[in-house]
Every structure is written in C-alpha cells, then in structure tokens.
Chain A
Amino acid sequence: MKIINCCRVTAKPFRLGLLLAMLLPGVASADLPADCFDPLAVPVYPPTADVPAVTSQALAVRFLNMATFGAMPRDVNHLSKMTFQDWINEQFKMDASCHLAVLNQTQNNNQRENRMEVWFRHAVTAPDQLRQRVAFALSEIFVVSDVGSGIPTNAMAVYYDILTRNAFGNFRDILERVTLSPAMGRYLSMLHNQKADRKSGIRADENYAREIMQLFTIGLVQLDPSGVPLLLDGNTIPTYSQTDVENSAKVLTGWAFGDSYSFFDGGDWRISMKPFETYHDRSLKTLLDNIIVPEKGKASGDLKILLDTLFNHPNVGPFIGRRLIQRLVTSNPSPDYIKRVSRKFDDNGKGVRGDMKAVIRAVLLDPEALEGVRANANFGKLREPLLVLTHLWRAFDGHSLDGTIRYYYPDSSIGQGPLSASSVFNFFRPDFAPSGAIKNHGLFAPEFQLVNDANNTRFYNELFGLIYWRYKGNPYTNPYDVLININNLKKRAKSPGALVDYLNLILTGNKVPADVKTVLSNYIRSVDYRSYPENGVNRSLEALYFIMSSPYYLIQR
C-alpha cells in the first residue's frame, strides 16, 4: 500500500469549488438512453468486409471472449477483417436489443421462465453483443435480484433495459436511472422511504444510502487512482461514517411509484419513481466530505447533490474501473491498468467525466487486456457458469426448434441466473479468494466463490447433459430442448488431431497446451468414428465436452 499524509486536505479547495458548482442551476443535459431495435425484426448482423484478414483468428476469439457472450465463427470471421478499435466503434453505433420489448412478445411478460428465455436469446443472438455483455457486467455491480424480493418479472426486464440502453452513456446517468428505478427502489428499500416521524418513532431507511456508497460508487476506503487504498498512520481511511449514512438516508426520503397520486398508492414499475415533498426530510444534511445539503430543499434537488457528490468522488474511477475489468477481462488487473482505466473515467479526453464509451475502450484495449499473461503473469479469470452456457450456444448455434432458447431454471441447474443473485453482494465478491495458493499469493478470484464440491458436480453434470444429449440429430430430444449444431465438428471427426485443434481455436483462442491436446487426441482416436445416429457424432461430443470442461477453457486468459 502507498503511504500518504492525507489526500483530502489538499483536495479541499477544489471540493469547495465543486460544491458551489453543484449548487448553481444545472445546465448539463443527460445522455438519452439508446433506442431499442424493433423487437419483431429479424436480427441484422453487420456485413463482413471482403478484404484480407488483419486480425488472427486466435486473437479474434480471445478478444470476443472478453467483449461478447462468447466467440462464435460468424463474429470471429467478421472481426478478423477489422481492428479491435473498429469493431468496438461498430458496436457503439448499434441500437439496443431491449429485453422488455421482446418479453412483451411472449404470452406472459410476468412469467419468470420467459424472462430467462429472453435473457438467453439476447445473450446468444443479439447483434449488439458488446452492449449486452456490458449490461450483464453492470447487472453484477448494480445488483437487483428477484430472489426473495417480490419484484415482478416484467419489472426486472425494465431494470435490465436501463442497464442495456445506458451502457454506452454516462455513468452519472446510469447512477440516477438506477437509483430512481422502482426495482432498485424496492430491492434496497428507497421506495416509500420517508422522513423521520417522532410520533410514530420512524426514521429514514438507511439501506440504499449505505449500499449506493459501499457497492455502487466509492466503496469503504479511500483509494488512489490505481485502486490502492490510501493510508494515514498505517491505517486505511474510511470514505464515509455512520453519520454520513444516516444523513444520506434522509436525502433519499420521499420517493414513491411514478404513477402515485398519494405516497403509498401507485405501482407502475415501468417509469421512474417520483417525489412527494411532504415525505421528504427537508432539514439541513451534512454528507460525506462535509458536503452540505441546505435545508428546505426538494427531494430531487437533494438527490442531485448526493449523486453529484458520489459521482465526482475520486474513488469512482478506480472502484468501478476495477469491477468492470474483473467482469470483462481479468481478476487481478495491475494497479497501472486500473489507473489507466480510472483516468479515462475521470476524463475521456474531451473533459467529460464518466463517459462509459471511453471507459469500455480503456478496459478492452488496454495493453494488459490484449497481451494477457505476457503483460501480467496472473492474468485471467474463471468463466462464470452463465457465460459458459452462452458460449456453448453461440459457438454451436444452440436453440430450441422454434428459435427460442428455453433454459428456464439456470439458478438451480448451474447455480447462477441473471438478476437472481442471493443478495446485493452479487454471486461473488470482487475480493473473494479461495483458500490455498491463490489466497496465499494475495490474489483474488471472485468467480471461485461459486466453486465447491456440490457446485462442481452440478456444473460438470449439467454441461455433460447439454452436450452429450442435446445435439441436432439426436432422435431422443423434444422440441423445447436447446440443441447445438455439431456439423463443424462431425466433418473433422475422422482426424482427432484436427478436431481438437479446431475446438481449441474457436473456444479458447489456442490456450490448451500440447500435452493436454495429445492426451485428448489419443482418447478421441480410441472412440469409434462409426457411431449412432451418424458417424463422427460420438467423437465430436467427446471432444467438445473435454475441451469445455478443461481448466484451460474454463480459465479464460
């Protein structure tokens, strides 16, 4: 850790100026959310240029595994004809594939199974892959869950679309739209949070006030731009106190459903919450870093001061930057990598703070992201169970007979469902380290929090079933099963070496080492090429399972 005297003393004049700026009438306009694609239209993928390749297939696979829900032949071919930068720019220009609009095409938009199907369909087939992938990452930072919260299914889709449509906007807008969404309002009980009432002994609810600081913006301790905790006399420096939480809770009073006529009626989950001033605490409130919220303020004005304060806190760049790197690229980014990303958060080069496009470019195009273990020996991350399944179905065109992707109960099948974490702390924590060598090296591996004996068995068996039993051509399936197309494997199955090499390329970007490939090829050779229902099927399925269950695939680097 870096020792400093104290960071904030020198920063104070600046922060005072900041406060004054915030109290002046706002002139900045928010970025509009991206438009939605027509939910009834067939997805259109950008045409691939008819030019010589500029990016190798292996590198394209590797990059797409970070930036999408898994590399697939069409995208690999497309990306190989352009640079990573151009691909990102192409993705930035696309409208959003919106979840609610598609969910509304189903027979019941409030059925959880349908939300799962729509999520998988987007993850596997949506052309705006980068947007979808970033939205999923954001859903693991700004966590809302339908587990035990009573939030209706269609409201979860409304919430997910906030993340999807604003993924390339400004972080400040994401923060505000998330804060005012009724789903988050219900999940962390800002909805119907009211000012203290001495007579009934009620005081403001602290739930959202605490978590917006601890988990969504600044974290518990002050950080330098590279994410390293600042120290004062050898100790970390808290970002806020319990009193700051209590006062922020007062700021966050007075919000009800957007269609309410009185504070406790209403129930429209589609629109932002709206303020009721009689339930809002109008006293003077002192927030973290001695920011003052003057008395007699309105709910929305007070909220703006709080959100601006948090948004402008120097922790946000390293705090959110590290989380996005972990979700998309690697579990243990170097401090310099975090610093390069947080600088882009602070200023996109044109004086704009919180520009998500600049942040995403910085995360995905950083030399460390592109060079992997050559730049950082600890580079890599465990693939989340959901991302293994989306990759399987992207790479092998998995879908049910009618084109849907009916995988209704991922939480019980693989231990992870979108927007279904067990708490606001997500499926895993950013600082989780399994006991053993990883922890002993002082490293983190968040996704390992899902790894244990019971989950290992369940995951390996589920993957086994999805591969060995769910392929096109298997006569013992039903129309709702998600079936993969293994034609590209069958045609290589006569040559086990070629089959293994192909899978290694398109799934891992050639990360399986020679010794493992040899063992696997020898085994595949021992499997009879002749098989039911077609020749080559058994070899194809065996090779696919063995690559996808291999640690060299499941650790993505």
Chain B
Amino acid sequence: MTTSKQWTRRNFLQCAATAAAGACNRNAALGLLAGVQAAAAEAAAPDYRALVCIFLAGGNDGFNVLIPNDVDRYSIYKKARGNLAFPSDQLLSLNSSSGQNFAVSTRAPGFQNLYDNGRLAFLANVGTLLQPTSKKDYLANAHLPPQLYSHNDQSDQGMSSQLDALEKIGWGGRMADLLTGLNGNSPLPLGVSIAGNNLFQVGANTVPYYMSGGGVNNFYVASGGPKDARAKTFNKILDLTITNGRLLEREFAKSVKSSLDLSQTLINALNKSSIGTGIWPGGSLSQQLQMVARVISVREIFGVKRQVFYVVQGGYDTHDDQIQRHGNLIAELSQAVAAFHGTMDEFGVGNDVTSFTLSDFGRTLTTNGDGSDHAWGNVQMVAGGSVVGGNVYGAFPDQTIDGPDDSGYGRLIPTTSVEQYGATLARWFGADGNQLAAIFPHLGRFDTADLGFMALT
C-alpha cells in the first residue's frame, strides 16, 4: 500500500470490506478523524466494551493474594508456605455469603472492598494447559505444556493460548483481528498498549497502538505541519525507504511512518480527555491505568466500540525478600484497580469495562528461605461492574505439599485452563462460538467454555 496517498472514502470502504482478511492496516484509516467523529455521533451505539489486561510481570504469588480462611485449609496453607505465610492477624476476611470462606492480606483492602461489593471475582487455579491434566499425567510427563516454569515461555503461552505453536500470536490480538470491524473506520487500533510491546495484543492482521503513561507526543521534526519542507522531506525519505529499502529498513520505516501519521490525531483527541475526579494512588501502574481511563473518556471521539488495553506491573519475581516486596506490589495493585473501576463508574461505563490479571506463572507454595520459585497454577483476578463478583471460580486446590494437586514443592497443577479464562472474557467482549474456537485452539478439550464469572446481558 502507498501510505503517502491521499485517503478517500472509496479507499476506506475497500478497506472495511477486506479488513477481516487483513488487507487494511491502521495507516489506511488515517486522516479521517473529522468523519469519524460525525459517524460516531450518528451511530452512538450504547454497547461499548473494553478489556484491560493487567500483566503482573515476573510471576505473581497468587496464593498469597487469595488465602483460605477456614480453619482446616488455613492450617494447610500455613504449613505449606512456611515463613511466607500471612499470619491470621494480617488477613481481611472476604464476605462469605456465597458460602466461600477466603481472605486477602491487610495490604490489599481494595480487593476486599471490590469483592464484598460484588465487583471482583477470583479464579482459583488457572494455568497453561493443553488439556485437562491430573497429577498422574504430570508424573507420566503426558501432554504437558512445553517449558514449564520458564518466564518467557510461560508468559508467551498465557498471552497467546497457543502453547504448542511455534509462531504465536496473542489472544488479545486475535480478538482484535476478529472484532475490529465493530470499530468502523476509527483511526485508533482496537488494541492500545500503555506498556510497550507485548505478545498478548499482537494479532495476525492487527497491531496495537503504543502510548506511554504520559500520553502521546508530537514528532518535533514534523512540528512545522504537513506542508513544512522539513516534515515533507522526512516523510519522503520514509516513503522512499518503504518502496525501495531492504526488509529491515522497510519495516522500520513503516513503523516510524505509522507512529508519525497517528500522533497528531491522537494528541488532538486526548486533549479533551479526563481521568475523572477520584483520587488515584501513586506508582507506575496507577499512571498507566489513568492513561487507559483518559483514552476511554474520549472513546466517542475515536468512534470505538471495542478496546483491549494492556498495562504492566513489574517486580513479581520474588525469589527473595518476598514478604516485603510482594506485599508492596499487591498494595499498589489493589489501590490502582479500585481507583480505576471507581473512575469507570464515574464515566458511566462501570459495566462496560472489565479488568483482569495475567502473570507468567504461579509460584511455589514452599519457601526457598525468604522467597518462592517458579511454579504453574495461579490465582487470577477479574474486576468490573459486569463481573459476577464476590465469588471464587474453579476448584480451590489442596495446598498440601505432595498432595493430589501438587507436582512438587507446592507447584500446583492448574485445574482451569487460561483458555477457559480468556474465552469467558472474550465471549462477554462479543466473540461468538466460532470466533472463540478460532481464538482458543484447545478450548474444546475442556468441560466448559464459559466459567460463569461474567454477566452476559
């Protein structure tokens, strides 16, 4: 495609018609903002939905986020976790009206509040699985995901749900591939990353837009406007490279060109954005979620009906000094998530925005002295007004070391697949049965494609 070509309505229709086949990328939809605004006002469909992936980088110790609160299971927990266990006087009990008796640490009051108000659910033991897997299967090394316990491999598998594929694409990106048509001619891609490059949002035909927690900046070299000789020369060199350059040169030039073309459009829209009137905590995660809130606040200017966001909170690889480090992390997480959903309520999209966690893997229940090591099954959190909250979904594992759910040292064998988890979210987001099967290749091997934690209205 010639990216310097003036964009026309006819081009756009061609693009929209072929979007599903990937013939159109985001450059193609540029220069249309004025039209987009009009179209968005016209259509004004109420069914906006957004998913916010909060990636807890390094491997969150989820079994120190959701803690069993009945006497029997707490004592098993305490024994398994040794010096990593939260003492009972550092626990906040969660509302047990659903018949489930759990607690969170006193570092995470935001979780307690959201859970007790029915706006947060936990998933008890999620992980990468090729098919339902028992301890017997594990011991026989039968159909296990490749490279268990390796950071990058397990992150990639959780973000792609394509455990056994050599060339992986992300399930957030595949949702964007299939549903990007709902966003009409929006110049903004369906995926928006506030935390840099990630596999989760890379689809077969779509790539996300990457902005920083600070928003979008102009290119100084183009600050003279499109008619300025300097900006024209800069663009001309990029165009020549895209036409005549070698592969690496061409691909790099395309990336810069695309960033340049979109930047001014986004700056104009974001100038009208808001983070609401609530109080946000400090820290990088909060800053990223504020940026997500700003983009959502101007969703109608962009004319988008579906958005997938990606933010990251790092530091979860707590091989040492875990009590302090992990406590600080979940304190920040629970405050930021609570502030974010409060803001969504204020914007009137409380039921339309769902945040959910992913992480590399769970961690060993056992201690290596003052920390934990790489494991497998993990607790995940889903929050928002459409979450059937106040519940823990999936079988909570037996935390007995060397018990039926333990593959060794408290590396728990997952009982829920990350694909079931993703499919439940994707269905709420608008994917139909065929699309779910296309996004999650092993979904049919599990007993249900809908874990029931999302209200499907």
A and B physically associate? yes
Interface contact B244-A429, CB-CB below 8 Å: no
Given A210-B149, A460-B256: A202 touches B82 (CB 8 Å cut-off): yes
Which chain A residues (407-443) contact chain B, with CB distance < 8 Å? 422-425, 429, 434-439, 441, 443
Question: Which residue of the partner chain A has the closest CB to B189?
Answer: A453
* CB of A477 to closest CB in B, whole Å: 17
- Cβ-defined partner of B58 (8 Å) among A423, A542, A552: A423
- A435 surroundings in chain B (CB, below 8 A): 169, 173, 202-203, 207
The yes or no answer to A465 lying at the interface (CB within 8 A) is: yes
The answer to whether B229 touches A526 (Cβ under 8 A) is: yes
Taking a contact as CB atoms under 8 Å apart, the answer to whether A148 and B315 are in contact is yes
> Shortest CB–CB separation between residue A469 and chain B, in angstroms?
10
Let me know if B345 is at the binding interface, CB within 8 A.
Answer: no
Task: With A207-B373, A516-B237, A519-B237 as known contacts, state yes or no: A454 contacts B212, CB within 8 Å.
Answer: yes
- In the assembled complex, the CB of A55 is this many whole angstroms from the nearest CB of chain B, namely 24
* Interface magnitude class on chain B: 35 or more
Residues from chain A with Cβ under 8 Å of B456 in the complex: none
Question: Is B254 part of the contact surface with A, judged by Cβ < 8 Å?
Answer: yes
Interface pick from A78-86, A335-343, A359-367, A374-382: A374-382
Stretch at the interface among A16-24, A99-107, A192-200: A192-200
Q: Is B314 an interface residue when CB atoms closer than 8 A count as contact?
A: yes
Taking a contact as CB atoms closer than 8 A, the residue among B83, B219, B314, B373 that contacts A200 in the complex is B83
Q: Complex Cα distance A184/B190, Å?
A: 41
Which residues of chain A are near B240, meaning CB under 8 Å? 513, 515-516, 519
**A445 CB–B CB distance under 8 Å:** yes
Q: Is B117 part of the binding interface, using a Cβ–Cβ cutoff of 8 Å?
A: no
Q: CB-CB contacts of B233-276 with A at 8 A, as 1s and 0s? A: 11011101100111111111111101110110000000000000
Known: A457-B216, A555-B249. A206 touches B374 (CB 8 A): yes
Stretch of B178-186, B364-372, B421-429 on the interface side: B364-372
Q: Is the pair B246, A203 in contact by a Cβ cutoff of 8 Å?
A: no
A502-552 interface with B by 8 A CB criterion: 513, 515-516, 519-520, 523, 526, 542, 545-546, 549-552
- The closest CB in chain B to the CB of A206 belongs to B373
Q: In chain B, residues 396-445, which have Cβ atoms closer than 8 Å to a Cβ of chain A?
A: 408-409
B393 at the interface (CB under 8 A from A): no
Q: Contact: B230 with A455, CB < 8 Å?
A: no
Closest chain B CB from A214 CB (angstroms): 6
- Which residues in window 206-242 of A have CB below 8 A to B? 206-207, 210, 214, 220, 238, 242
B246 touches A545 (CB 8 A): no
Of B95-103, B150-158, B349-357, the segment with at least 4 beta carbons within 8 Å of chain A is B150-158
User: Which of B212, B219, B229 contacts A460, CB < 8 Å?
Assistant: B219
Interface centre among B193, B210, B251, B317 (most CB of A within 10 A): B251
Asked if residues B209 and A453 are in contact (CB atoms below 8 Å), the reply is yes
B:165-188 near A, CB below 8 Å:
167, 169, 173
* B119 → chain A closest CB, angstroms: 30
Assembled-state Cα–Cα distance A189/B218 (Å): 42
B263 lies within 8 A of A380 (CB): no
- Nearest 8 A/B pairs, CB to CB: A201-B82, A452-B210, A205-B368, A523-B233, A189-B319, A453-B259, A456-B259, A453-B210
The 18 sampled A-B contact pairs (Cβ below 8 Å) are A148-B314, A189-B371, A202-B368, A206-B368, A207-B317, A380-B246, A423-B314, A436-B251, A437-B250, A454-B196, A454-B216, A456-B255, A513-B240, A516-B240, A519-B236, A551-B237, A551-B238, A552-B241
Further 19 A-B residue pairs, CB within 8 A, beyond A377-B246, A449-B197, A453-B262: A200-B367, A201-B79, A206-B368, A206-B374, A207-B373, A331-B248, A378-B248, A423-B314, A434-B197, A436-B251, A438-B251, A450-B197, A451-B197, A452-B193, A453-B216, A460-B220, A461-B219, A542-B230, A557-B246
